[in-house]
Amino acid sequence: MNTNRGLTLVVKSRHSAPFSTLLLLSLLLLSAPAFSHVPLMAEDNDNISRAMHISDADKSWAVYGLLPEQAAHYYSLDRKEGERIYLSLFKTADPGENGYRPTLLLIGPDLEEDIKPDHLPPLPPGALQLKLLRGDEKTAAAATYEPFGPSSFIELAEINITSPEAGRYYAAVYDSASESIGNNSSHVSGGGGHYGLAVGYEEEFSFTDRFLTPLRLISVYLWEGQSLGMILIPYLLAGIIALLFFWRGSRRTSFCLAGLLSGFLFLATSASVFNQMVFSLTRAPLGPEVYITLAIGVFHALLGVAAIRLARGEAGILQRALLAVIGTIALLAGSGLIIGPLLSMAASFLPSRSGNIFARRKDGDL
């Protein structure tokens, strides 16, 4: 019997410390969101009849959009009497948009109206009873650093009230020079620009949210003014390096290839986190929040190192199980741009030159 093809049931003791550390960090970081809000991109909502509907106005969302000069974007949410309405308007910290300052309005029934424009914006039929409430504007200050993304932004205005009556409410984000704002507008337009609208206050993250957030974050980074090449370079380099490691290694198997690719994609996520941290800190002040980003970056790096070590070793049943676990953790943590976790989980089923549960029985093996 060829004992080299036997099942590997024990992981060497030198692996136990890294995997214990990885498990501890997984429990800590997976309990926190990958992003403080679930990111969305504004759709074709330049008319109130095509308002982008927020189906769950309690859940914390962040919608990112590009507002043309003298235009408005609309959002709708349904509220019962006494339910909380929370809206927060912010903009990109791009220095090229320093002069841009949009306005936030809430349109709905029985509001304590504090803005009386010369003429109302176009409203749905039978909705003439709606009133307008301007958001509490904030003094333009230094940008805020978001550690989970990471990213940076400048807060502009906020509305935090309880709905006076059940019904449909509309949030409108206006370019400040838009004549439809009325005679209360006092800001100078910067020719349109990028804005974000946070809706809701409960940080709830479903499996789908965690699954899609890494891809949505690419849109957020583009919204900040970054190039697609800058965002994706770490992942392209990771794929090239993984292939080099594979061809120069002694274990040229599909198990090894999938594991290496997944591990280097996790390392690429770590590099991307540190890259975005440095980029954001060029626009926002350094604060204690940066330690959260550092912990997230280290966590992704540990996922990568663990996957690479497993892929380059024996393909025993326990190693395969660990790769599947790492892939699941990475998927929930937003590591590896979805492809990495899928490759890590696939590696646990792929054939290897070493003995494994899929090896053919020869000469009484297994």
Q: Which of 117-131, 152-166, 187-201, 328-342 has the lowest mean pLDDT?
A: 117-131
Name the band, by pLDDT with cuts 50, 70 and 90, for residue 206.
Answer: confident
The pLDDT of residue 99: 85
Q: Which residues does 59 contact at the CB level (< 8 Å), separation at least 6?
A: 38, 200, 202, 204
Pick from 171, 179, 176, 200: nearest CA to 190? 176
Distance (Å, whole) CA 133 – CA 122: 16
Q: Is the per-residue pLDDT at 163 higher than 90?
A: yes
Query: In the chain, what is the greatest distance between 2 CA atoms, to the nearest angstrom?
Result: 91
Q: Domains of the chain by range and CATH?
A: 3-34+208-347 (no CATH), 38-204 (2.60.120.380)
Structure tokens at 355: 């003995």
The pLDDT of residue 185: 37
Cβ pair 209, 198 in contact under 8 A: no
Name the band, by pLDDT with cuts 50, 70 and 90, for residue 313.
Answer: confident
**What is the average pLDDT value for the chain, to the nearest integer?**
81
Buried b / exposed e along 307-342 (16+ C-beta atoms within 10 A):
bbbbbbbbbbeebbebbbbbbebbbbbbbbbbebbb
Residues 284-300: pLDDT tens digits?
999 999 999 999 999 99
Pick from 55, 47, 329, 92: nearest CA to 219? 92
Say which residue, 336 or 142, is predicted with more confidence. 336
Give the position of tokens 């989970």.
148
